[in-house]
Amino acid sequence: MTAPERQEPHKANRPAQPPEPARPPKANEPPPPPERRQSAAARRRAERRLERIAAGATELEQRLEDLLHTGLSAALRTDGDGSGPGGAGSAGAWDETAARMVDAQAPGLAARARELGSVAGSGPDWPSRLLEGCALLHLLDQGFLDVERLPAALAATVRSRVGLTTEAADVLSGPDTVTVRDRWLVLAQRDGAEGPLTARRIYLRGERTGRMALHLSYGGPHRPLDVSLPPGVLLDAELAYYPGARPLRAALGARHAPAAPGPVPSGCGIDAALAAYGHALREDPWLDSWPVVLTDVTPLPGGPDGGWQLADADGESALPLDRRRLGRAALWQLVSLSGGAPVTVFGECGHRGFLPLTVWDPAPVPLSP
């Protein structure tokens, strides 16, 4: 005969068990070192931030879905008195969403949401531009929510686009760091306000490698900006690129010689500039522009909507100037320096046109912001 199976008593009939006392630390067990405790705390903070950003991306997806269900015309609706957030795609609604993305510690998502709020009614083609912006935001949301399945370089791009940054010290000294030594020609320097800070963007190009680089630094009331790299100087130094599918931003490492005056840079024509931006866009679909040097181009009136354009010497190709970002002072400065003759110009080439930053005459002349 087999022994009868033992019946488990019902949980409700089991006597309550006292909680197991916590294990006291051993007398000879040393506490964890401060570095380990700090590393564990930093890891927990990073994990919590990733959770908040993922929640923000999920909320954005719901906002985009609501807009598509109600139609793009909802972007023009307001409350009955003409104020308030209005429809799902109105400026007020997007501002509210942007504020929530700031709370989620995703400044990149916040900036794109805020930009969508300014598109509605901003021109005859605003529905197509709004739909394009929504598509790019949806792509970024989905990329972040599934970032672990992306290739490493593309995953790094997605993280940076949502607002996750890497410290320059980590870029220069990380286990996978590869520095690029070259003689870097400073092509442009441009300042802009980012909240209470001033952001300085310095564009460089390697003399040997031909690679473009962007050095980004910040200054404040008690944090002066670096003034040692004006346009036109040549710097023998090492750069380390931030990770990404199309690396551009770089951290400045060791300098091997003092900066010296550099030559007028060589460049390309309009078609090659557009091709360079297209190649970069293929690897980073959220890229607004790509830095290029144009040679033998002439500023001429007659661009789209009565604006100006840069035309090749042969007159076969022309590139409109970005009227949304180019100030009148910079435009007339460029025109007067050209005097109707071809010039060498450095700037940002993108889907909105070309933004000139420096023109050579033959010395480099920074254009007014």
What per-residue confidence (pLDDT) applies to 228? Answer: 86
Q: How far apart are CA 356 and CA 56, in angstroms?
A: 36
Q: For residue 97, give every residue at least 6 positions away whose Cβ sits within 8 Å of its Cβ, in sequence order, or none.
A: 59, 60, 63, 113
pLDDT digits (tens, 9 = 90+) for 279-297: 999 999 999 999 999 999 9
Please give the model's pTM, rounded to 2 decimal places: 0.84
Residue 83 has pLDDT above 70, yes or no: no
Radius of gyration in angstroms for the set of CA atoms belonging to the chain, rounded to a whole number: 27
Beta carbons of 340 and 318 less than 8 angstroms apart: no
Beta carbons of 338 and 313 less than 8 angstroms apart: no
Beta carbons of 66 and 52 less than 8 angstroms apart: no
- Reported as type and span, the H/E element at residue 160 is helix 152-162
Instruction: Please tell me whether residue 115 adopts helix, strand or coil conformation.
Output: helix
Q: How far apart are CA 244 and CA 76, in angstroms?
A: 37
When pLDDT is averaged across residues 339-356 and rounded to a whole number, the result is 96
pLDDT digits (tens, 9 = 90+) for 183-226: 999 999 999 988 788 999 999 999 999 999 999 999 988 888 88
Beta carbons of 192 and 214 less than 8 angstroms apart: no
Beta carbons of 346 and 354 less than 8 angstroms apart: no
What is the Cβ-side half-sphere exposure of residue 294, based on CA atoms within 13 angstroms?
A: 35
Residue 342 carries which side chain, given as an amino acid letter? P
What is the Cβ-side half-sphere exposure of residue 72, based on CA atoms within 13 angstroms?
A: 15
